[in-house]
Structure 1
Amino acid sequence: MKILGVCFNYPTHRDEAQSLGLGVQSPPHAEPVFFHKGDSLLRPNTPFFLPDMGSSVEYEAELVVQISRVGKRIAERFAHRYYNYITLGIDFTARDLQRRAIAEGHPWLSAKVFDGSAVVGTWLSKEELGYPECPIPFRLDVDGVTRQSATSSEMIHGIDSLISHISRHQTLRMGDLIFTGTPAGVGAVEIGQLLEGYIGERRVLHLPIK
């Protein structure tokens, strides 16, 4: 199983990137930029244990798509056939390590791939969500306060476009996960916090920080 992430796929996060020390990014309509998250999936119903990495670890809430069939060079108009389930996930990022990697021109591996850094909630069928006819609203609450909120319609590159682009470069297989990018509002996590993720008004993720 591959876990893939997408960089700066919401205009609001692209706009806040400068304040996060992530530098100037590519033009908003450039091709999407991907990264791998390795074998970092957190086990279901497990708390996230804050790693001692000497870095600030930040949450990035995003919609996650699960690939349902094998595909290579998938045309965008057929991409909807390659996934059935969507949920809310968190791409945890060691921000200081990411800033250092960007400044030195290195890959982001140490910032993005560590134990439990990919979290997914309860899967919902796209039919249940009315997707793609209806945009998917989602939010992340930290200790009961909403920190991130957006809808799928705000993505620069939509789900089908992302699937088509990825499949040009590598074969997608059953069970692969695509984290589709985060909106503005990312922030540091601390021991004792509770992160709760919602799609619409349905809570799909409950994550204590230990």
Structure 2
Amino acid sequence: MKILAVGFNYPSHKNESSSISSKILSPSSDPIIFHKGDSLHRLGHPYYIPDWTNELEYEAEIVVQINRVGKCISERFAHRYYDNLSIGIDFTARDLQREAIKRGEPWTRSKAFDGSAVVGEWINKQELNFPEKAIDLRLECDNQLVQHAFSDEMIHSIDQIIAYISQQHTLKIGDLIFTGTPAGVGACKIGQKLVGYLNQHKLLELVLK
């Protein structure tokens, strides 16, 4: 299983992160794709904030689970390659990411460290009435709504992302795609409780230690 992710895929996050995004994006940019390696954190296990970063931040995202093998997938057929969706958190060491961008280096240390990918419970897209209706993504931190967006706000849609990635990567059963985060990313602190929803379905709950 591989974990792929998309950077700056919501205008709101692109704007709030302009000091970073302006250095790497052009108006006609293709999706920014990066690998998160073998970084999946299993739900039910404690989540410990690593001590080698001073700026760990949460980024809530819609996550897609690939259900069949595909290469060079047409956008109009991309919907056939996934049934299940979830909400995930792309934990990011922001201090290391800024340094990597400054040096023109990959984001591996800041985005693909052990436990940097958390995924909630899976839900079938039919239960979400998707794609007929946009998905409502919400993340709460200590009972306060911190991130909220709809899937139709994405710069690149889920099907466009799948088609784009599959030009260079063979997608296999079980592969995960993090589709980007909206505005509202925030600092992680010990004791915080993160709860994630797609529509009215609570799919993720995580306490930081």
Q: How many residues align?
A: 209
Q: Letter of the aligned partner of 1:17 in structure 2?
A: S
- Please, which runs of 5 or more residues in structure 1 have no aligned partner? none
Q: Between the two proteins, what is the percent identity of the paired residues? A: 57
Is 1:202 the equivalent of 2:201? yes
Which residue in the other structure is 1:189 paired with? 188
1:118-197 paired onto structure 2 within 5 Å: 118-197=117-196
The answer (yes or no) to whether the contact 1:197–1:206 under 8 Å persists in 2 is: yes
What secondary structure, in the 3-state scheme, does the structure 1 residue paired with 2:115 have?
coil
Using the TM superposition, give the Cα deviation of residue 28 of structure 1 relative to its aligned residue in structure 2, in angstroms: 4.5
Q: SS state of the match for residue 46, structure 1?
A: coil
What is the TM-score when the length of structure 2 is the normalising length? 0.97
Shift of 1:30: 1.9
Structure 2 Cα separation of the partners of residues 29 and 184 of structure 1: 21
User: Residues 198 and 22 (structure 1 numbering): CA distance in 2 closer, same or farther, change over 3 Å?
Assistant: same
Q: Aligned partners of 2:200, 2:28: CA distance in 1, in Å? A: 31
39-48 or 138-147, which deviates more? 39-48
Q: Do 1:28 and 1:156's aligned partners in 2 also have CA atoms closer than 8 Å? A: no
Superposed CA offset, 1:70-114 (max 9, x none): 000000000000000001000000000000000011111100111
Cα RMSD over matched residues?
1.1
Alignment partners' CA distance in 1, 2:54 and 2:186? 13
Q: How does 1:103-122 map to 2 (within 5 A)?
A: 103-122=102-121
Do 2:63 and 2:176's aligned partners in 1 also have CA atoms closer than 8 Å?
Answer: yes
Q: Partners of 1:3 and 1:202 in 2: how far apart?
A: 23
